Amino acid sequence: MGDVARPYPRPDRDTTPFWEAQNRHELVFQRCKQCEAVRYPVGPLCPRCRSFDFDWVVSGGRGTVHSYTVVHHQAHPAFPVPYTVVLAEMDEGPRVIAQLRTPPDGRCEIGMPVRVEWEDHPHQSLPVFVPDEDRGST
């Protein structure tokens, strides 16, 4: 961590349960009560059937790397380089952005299985991805 705090979410009336769940170390998604579609990012209406009724479901925390970037040029004081940011496609469907805790060989690959771990920051706990040793590379 640098001297400057990293940006953190400003929960609103839609997103507060999502961020509170992350502070409990749970990655949650909304699931429509009408059509059961899982949706993300957080929003009040199901874009599939336009129902306002939903539950929160807890993700199993497993997915695969859909894309990623290794950041080399420091653009923000809170994020010393290099670091890797992953877009993981979770088993439940949504794609989630989080940093990759660098694997032993230092590399990231598309298709690599990952699972969620948690980091506590001053304002907000956030997920990070780590290679999922229980599942071989696809």
Partner 1 sequence: MTIRNKAAIVGIGQTEFSKDSGRSTLRMALEVVLEALGDAGLKPQDVDGVVKMGANDDIFEIDLLRSLDLPNLRFFNEVPHGGGAACGTIAMAVAAVAAGMADVVVTFRSLNERSERRFGQSSAGGAVGGWMQYNLPHGLVTPAQWIAIFAQRYLYEYGWTTEELGRVAVLCRKHAATNPHAMMYGRPITLEEHQSSRWIAEPLRLLDCTLDTDGACAAVVVSADKAKRLKGKSAYIAAAAQGTGRRAEMMTSYQRASLCRLEEAEATAKELYRIAELGPTDIDVAELYDHFTPMVLMALEAYGFAPPGKAPELLGEGRLELDGDTPLNTHGGHLGEGYLHGFGHIVEGVRQIRGTAVNQVREVRTCLVTSGTAVPTSGVILSKEPY
**Residue 35 site contact among Zn ion, partner 1, none (CB < 5 to 8 Å, cut-off depends on kind):** Zn ion
**Residue 62 site contact among Zn ion, partner 1, none (CB < 5 to 8 Å, cut-off depends on kind):** none
**Residue 32 site contact among partner 1, Zn ion, none (CB < 5 to 8 Å, cut-off depends on kind):** Zn ion
The distance of closest approach from Cβ of residue 98 to partner 1 in the complex, given in angstroms and rounded to an integer, is: 5
Residues lying near partner 1 in the complex (CB under 8 A): 4-10, 12, 15, 40-41, 47, 66-73, 75-79, 83, 85, 87, 94-99, 110, 121, 123-124, 126
Q: Which DSSP letter does residue 102 get?
A: P
- Phi, psi (degrees; rounded to nearest 5) at 20: -65, -35
User: What is the β-pairing status of strands 62-71 and 28-32?
Assistant: unpaired
Residues lying near Zn ion in the complex (CB under 5 A): 32, 34-35, 37, 46, 48-49, 51
| Euclidean distance between CA atoms 135 and 87, whole angstroms | 18
Q: Are 99 and 128 in contact (CB under 8 A)?
A: yes
Q: Quickly tell me which residue has 């990070």 as its tokens.
A: 128
